[in-house]
Amino acid sequence: MSATTLAAAPSPARLSGIHLPAALGAGALLLAGALAIGEIVSPRQAALYLLGAALGLVLYHAAFGFTAAWRVFIADRRGEGLRAQMAMLAIAVLLFYPVLAAGSLFGQPVQGLVAPVGVSVLFGAFLFGIGMQLGGGCASGTLYTVGGGSVRMVLTLAAFIAGSTIGAAHLHWWQAQWSLPPISLVREWGVLPALALNLGLFALIAGLTVVLERRRHGRLVGAGPAPRAGLARFLRGPWPLLAGAVALALLNFATLALAGRPWGITSAFALWGSKLAEGIGFDPAFWPYWSTPAQAAALEASVLRDVTSVMDFGIVLGALLAAALARRFSPSLRVPLRSALAAVVGGLMLGYGARLAYGCNIGAYFSGIASSSLHGWVWMAMAFAGNVLGTRLRPLFGLEVERTPRLTGC
């Protein structure tokens, strides 16, 4: 059994029930949080909190991850997860590109997450890729598996936050190294050429996974039969990967509509870590990372005013609700020492790499490509290379390199 599996598969006797205490707790926290955020900040911020919860529920029910999907393709050429990612990206660019070219959505200004390409991104994305396999998850995977009850991933998350904070402190040095300016393909080429290029690349990658999978297995290897059907499957999972891909693309677009920019995750980790550093005597306000007026204001303000933070809180609680509905919420404190070490090392790599690369698998890869940012494609290539190395390093820490995807995205 993989060290990052959320819990053992439910027995038939448990399929008819839910984990009532966890479900009630998650529901209460979501309702109370939405009411408090709506009162303290704004109804829009409360809606983003609940949108984060919806993302967490989708991620959990679809077991939609990036780490395991890349690992099983690297190890055994199983490409279902990668094809689902390409479908998600295709839907996203079809939704995003016309709106980003227009500059507004429903009367609200919107902008993409477009970042430079340089040494910082190349090294950071590669480091992040290694961290994915050692830590046991990506940014979204870490949050939703924590919500699902994985104690090991709490270690990864803590180290992720620490690494993000260190990365924020060092980012100015990396930014001084060679880089190209931010490049938006929509801005440079226009909507239709940018769409054609991206859709063509998605099709090429999906087609390559089909060829390689059939060469290895003689056929495409699909998921096994689901334990539920109909409404029970919708409420309690597991969902088909393609359903998760569609839902995540639509919810990212909803994030663009509500927040004015796409979904991101890891900037909040740097914020939380910097606030903690401030509490123990450091002075992150003097770091160049926090020197702009907007960043300085974020550091001073409550985390409830930070869009990324409230959405991250929502993801954890949405995944907790999903795990309770599926009756798979079953935390265990038994984490082997080597696995715990890998979680900490991998988490530090994830956090540091995300800051250097201007985002993670969500902010740089998913939302970066959806924003037509060239750096999103560079991030994907370098992070995938890091995953290849990370997959080879997993056995050194007693971590399995499975040939069959699990009911977890990590």
**Residue 283 has which token pair?**
């002075």
Query: pLDDT confidence of 14, banded at 50, 70, 90?
Result: very low
CA distance linking residue 343 with residue 193, whole number of Å: 42
Angle (CA) 135 137 138, round 5°: 115
Output phi, psi for 403, to 5 deg. Answer: -100, -10
Supply the pLDDT for residue 25. 96
Query: pLDDT confidence of 36, banded at 50, 70, 90?
Result: very high
Which of these, 202, 79, 203, 71, lies nearest to 141 by C-alpha position?
71
- Interhelix angle 337-356/151-175, rounded to 10 degrees, is 30
Question: Contact, 348 vs 128, CB < 8 A?
Answer: no
For residue 1, pLDDT beyond 50: no
CA distance linking residue 356 with residue 175, whole number of Å: 8
Question: Contact, 66 vs 89, CB < 8 A?
Answer: no
CA distance linking residue 168 with residue 120, whole number of Å: 12
Amino acid occupying residue 197: L
Angstrom CA distances, 343 to 42, 51, 393, stand at 36, 28, 13
Question: Contact, 361 vs 70, CB < 8 A?
Answer: no
pLDDT tens per residue, range 65-123: 899 999 999 999 999 999 999 999 999 999 999 999 999 998 899 999 999 999 999 99
End-to-end C-alpha distance for the chain, whole angstroms: 12
Higher-pLDDT residue of 332 and 23 is 23
pLDDT tens per residue, range 259-304: 999 999 999 999 999 999 999 999 999 999 999 999 999 999 999 9
Amino acid occupying residue 381: A
For residue 5, pLDDT beyond 50: no
Query: pLDDT confidence of 8, banded at 50, 70, 90?
Result: very low
Pairing of strands 179-180, 108-109: unpaired
The beta strands (E) that lie in 64-207 are given as 104-105, 108-109, 117-118, 179-180
What's the distance, CA 149 to chain centroid?
17
CA distance linking residue 216 with residue 219, whole number of Å: 8
CA distance linking residue 116 with residue 182, whole number of Å: 4
Please state, for a pLDDT cut of 90, what percent of the chain lies above it.
85
For residue 410, pLDDT beyond 60: no
pLDDT tens per residue, range 354-399: 999 999 999 999 999 999 999 999 999 999 999 999 999 999 999 9
Unique residue bearing structure tokens 């870490």: 142
- Count CB atoms within 10 A of the CB of residue 111: 14
**Residue 50 has which token pair?**
């609940």
Supply the pLDDT for residue 332. 80
Query: pLDDT confidence of 10, banded at 50, 70, 90?
Result: very low
